Amino acid sequence: MNYLTQESWQNFSPGNLSLKLPAVQATVVAPIIKEASDASRNWSNTPLSQRIELLKNAQSAITEAKEELAREIATETGKPITESLGEVAAVIAKFDLSFQDAENHLRPQTITDGPHPAQVRQRPRGLAVVIGPFNFPLHLGHGANVAHLLAGNPVIFKPSPLAANVAGHYARLMQQHLPPGTFGLVQGGAAQAISLCKHPLTRAVCFTGSVTAGRALAQELAADISKELALELGGRNAVVACEDADLELAATAVADGLCLTCGQRCNATSRVIVNKAVAADFEKCLLHSLERYKPGYPLTPATKLGPLINSQSLERYSSLINTAAEWVLPGSVPSDVCGLRGHYVTPAIRRGTGNMEAEPFAPVLELETFETDAEAVVKANATPFGLTVSVFTKSESRFRALADELFAGNIYANLPTTFSPSTLPFGGFGLSGNGRPAGRGFIRFTTHEQAIQTAGF
Ligand code: NAD
């Protein structure tokens, strides 16, 4: 059943501002919570094998709809169609990885080295709320949704209002294959998110989004310390390019990390720290590699650089490129692309650093140089975030020595900062978050660990 409020909004396609998407109505929160809470006991008592069977049916439905979902992501968020297809493929693959993780994590352990026979087992936490961002409107919420469902927790998904249509389609496909109330959808913004999260029946919250919103939410929930809050926030991710690096490879990786999803990825590359001895050569390679990234309509298969999500992002980009600095590549805002008006921008590169506490969330890159590896580490770590860092060097021992000093949850050698496969945990240190909801193994944060000890039988 749909519980709708009078509040509604309509998104424009960021790649074609004359295309208005269907209106979305915000959801009344209380009845959805009631339905989820009513479903809780049955779902937690459903054997894991049966939960997996039901989710496999949802996986098949999503697989059948994959091209349609990808087109909807591209239309609603401006993500190029090849990337959108990749996102839906990641959603489909995530089911299988999550099934494996659940089978491992939910298996009880027998403890034999204690004073009495004992077992450690995992119990469902209860109702989970999953709040998603616009930039991976399906994939990021989905990982947490599936982990919680496998753990026996009913889920209410509150997607980004900027991607409400495609998220609604995904949620309907999931709901068709799950018992009523087990997977709820709430449409809306911060007000709906806060009201869902603060509800006393909500036992776990998984939030993916900006530091500002994550911090505000943590403050709202601070009084109820029994709620589990997992936060997946931003990044200010650097590439460190050493003088022995394959400079063309490094430049290609930086261009990709800067421009994928128009720089709107938590693991986007927003900084390069390059050895002074090769800085000039690296810059040439980078400018050459960026020629691949011309703004294009997101649904055109050849497009590699789509638009930004909305006018606020465009304003933020414009203020960044108008900052006084030495610009190696000045950015620009094309008035149209292939005759279409949209939130299109071009990549921009400046020397020196900007605000290390704010993600550009647009294709704006800062270049710095270093002379010693110790200096590279200080510069790479000079941000309160700690999500991903990539090092380009041909020396494995040098990479490993740097990796020991770098402050980030994901450290890669000779790969783009955006190369984060679902087979690995993903998440950051510092302001980048906690609980690792976006990666492999998040299920360990979805359960209560319980110790059972027996004596006197
Ligand atoms: P956002 O913070 O604006 O919104 C994210 C979600 O939070 C939306 O559903 C929104 O409605 C909701 N929200 C907004 N204010 C809230 C509040 N006060 N309390 C509760 N919920 C609130 O983020 P966005 O623009 O959609 O996404 C971009 C941000 O997400 C970037 O900062 C990016 O780095 C981050 N992100 C992080 C990861 C990661 O894995 N670390 C992945 C994707 C995106």
Tell me the CATH number at 137.
3.40.605.10
For residue 14, give the amino acid letter.
P
The rounded distance, in Å, linking the Cα atoms of 348 and 331 is 4
pLDDT at res. 4: 80
Ligand 1 atom closest to 361 (CA): 31
Q: At 123, phi and psi to the nearest 5?
A: -115, 145
Mapping DSSP to helix (H, G, I), strand (E, B) and coil, where does residue 415 land? coil
pLDDT at res. 5: 78
- Residue 3 resides in a domain: no
Cβ neighbours of 222 (radius 10 Å) = 10
Helix (H) or strand (E) holding 170: helix 164-175
- Residue 46 resides in a domain: yes
pLDDT at res. 224: 94
Q: Name 286's Cβ contacts closer than 8 Å, sequence gap at least 6.
A: 251, 254, 255, 272, 349
Protein residue closest via CA to atom 8 of ligand 1: 160
The rounded distance, in Å, linking the Cα atoms of 213 and 200 is 20
Protein residue closest via CA to atom 31 of ligand 1: 210
Tokens of 116: 């009495």
Residues 228 and 250 in one domain: no
The sign of the dihedral angle between the CA atoms of 274, 279, 281, 282 is positive
Ligand 1 atom closest to 211 (CA): 32
**Could you tell me the end-to-end alpha-carbon distance of the chain, in angstroms, rounded to an integer?**
49
pLDDT at res. 344: 98
The rounded distance, in Å, linking the Cα atoms of 312 and 322 is 15
The rounded distance, in Å, linking the Cα atoms of 129 and 148 is 9
Residues 222 and 322 in one domain: no
Closest CA relative to residue 426, chosen from 140, 195, 209: 140
**Structural domain of 290:** 237-422
Class of residue 457 by CB neighbours under 10 A (exposed 0-12, middle 13-18, buried 19+):
exposed
Residues 142 and 258 in one domain: no
pLDDT at res. 437: 86
Q: Report angle CA 198, 227, 361 to the nearest 5 degrees.
A: 75
- Residue 440 resides in a domain: yes
- Residue 30 resides in a domain: yes
Q: Ligand 1 centroid to 250 CA: how many Å?
A: 29
Q: Ligand 1 centroid to 443 CA: how many Å?
A: 21
Ligand 1 pocket, CB under 6 A: 131-136, 140, 158, 160-161, 189-190, 193-194, 208-210, 213, 216-217, 232-235, 266, 359, 361, 432-433, 438
Tokens of 214: 């994550």
Q: Name 225's Cβ contacts closer than 8 Å, sequence gap at least 6.
A: none
Residues 59 and 170 in one domain: yes
Task: Write down the catalytic residue from 266, 283, 285, 368.
Answer: 266
pLDDT at res. 436: 86
The rounded distance, in Å, linking the Cα atoms of 410 and 407 is 9
Cα-to-chain-centroid distance, residue 355: 22
Protein residue closest via CA to atom 16 of ligand 1: 190
The rounded distance, in Å, linking the Cα atoms of 159 and 399 is 38
The rounded distance, in Å, linking the Cα atoms of 166 and 379 is 39
Q: Ligand 1 centroid to 344 CA: how many Å?
A: 21
The rounded distance, in Å, linking the Cα atoms of 310 and 291 is 24
Helix (H) or strand (E) holding 43: helix 29-45
In the chain, the number of structural domains is: 2
Q: Ligand 1 centroid to 210 CA: how many Å?
A: 4
Q: Ligand 1 centroid to 208 CA: how many Å?
A: 5
Q: Are 166 and 72 in contact (CB under 8 A)?
A: yes
Q: Are 101 and 441 in contact (CB under 8 A)?
A: yes
pLDDT at res. 432: 97
The rounded distance, in Å, linking the Cα atoms of 185 and 340 is 33
Known catalytic membership, residue 266: yes
Q: Are 196 and 171 in contact (CB under 8 A)?
A: no
Helix (H) or strand (E) holding 208: strand 204-208
pLDDT tens figures, 124-183: 999 999 999 999 999 999 999 999 999 999 999 999 999 999 999 999 999 999 999 999
- Residue 1 resides in a domain: no
Residues 162 and 281 in one domain: no
Residues 441 and 310 in one domain: no
Mapping DSSP to helix (H, G, I), strand (E, B) and coil, where does residue 438 land? coil
Residues 85 and 171 in one domain: yes
Class of residue 372 by CB neighbours under 10 A (exposed 0-12, middle 13-18, buried 19+):
exposed
Cα-to-chain-centroid distance, residue 380: 22
Mapping DSSP to helix (H, G, I), strand (E, B) and coil, where does residue 128 land? strand
Cα-to-chain-centroid distance, residue 437: 9
The rounded distance, in Å, linking the Cα atoms of 354 and 60 is 46
pLDDT tens figures, 290-342: 999 999 999 999 999 999 999 999 999 999 999 999 999 999 999 999 999 99
Q: Ligand 1 centroid to 433 CA: how many Å?
A: 12
- Residue 359 resides in a domain: yes
Low-confidence ranges of the chain (pLDDT < 70): 1-2
Q: At 455, phi and psi to the nearest 5?
A: -145, 155
Residues 257 and 377 in one domain: yes
- The string over 77-103, giving b where at least 16 C-beta atoms fall within 10 Å of a residue's C-beta and e elsewhere, is bbbbbebbbbbbebbbebbebbbebbe
Residues 62 and 180 in one domain: yes
pLDDT at res. 1: 60
Q: What is the DSSP letter of 25?
A: E
Residues 291 and 349 in one domain: yes
Residues 284 and 370 in one domain: yes
Q: Ligand 1 centroid to 159 CA: how many Å?
A: 10
The pick from 7, 9, 77, 208 for probing ligand 1's pocket by mutation, whose C-beta has the most ligand atoms within 8 angstroms, reads 208
Q: At 452, phi and psi to the nearest 5?
A: -115, 125
Known catalytic membership, residue 232: yes
Ligand 1 atom closest to 216 (CA): 18
The pick from 9, 210, 420 for probing ligand 1's pocket by mutation, whose C-beta has the most ligand atoms within 8 angstroms, reads 210
Task: Write down the catalytic residue from 72, 76, 83, 232.
Answer: 232
The rounded distance, in Å, linking the Cα atoms of 81 and 72 is 9
Protein residue closest via CA to atom 7 of ligand 1: 209
Ligand 1 atom closest to 232 (CA): 41
- Residue 366 resides in a domain: yes
- Residue 427 resides in a domain: no
Q: At 430, phi and psi to the nearest 5?
A: 55, -135
CATH number of the domain encompassing residue 409: 3.40.309.10
The pick from 9, 83, 160 for probing ligand 1's pocket by mutation, whose C-beta has the most ligand atoms within 8 angstroms, reads 160
Residues 32 and 54 in one domain: yes
The model carries a pTM of: 0.97
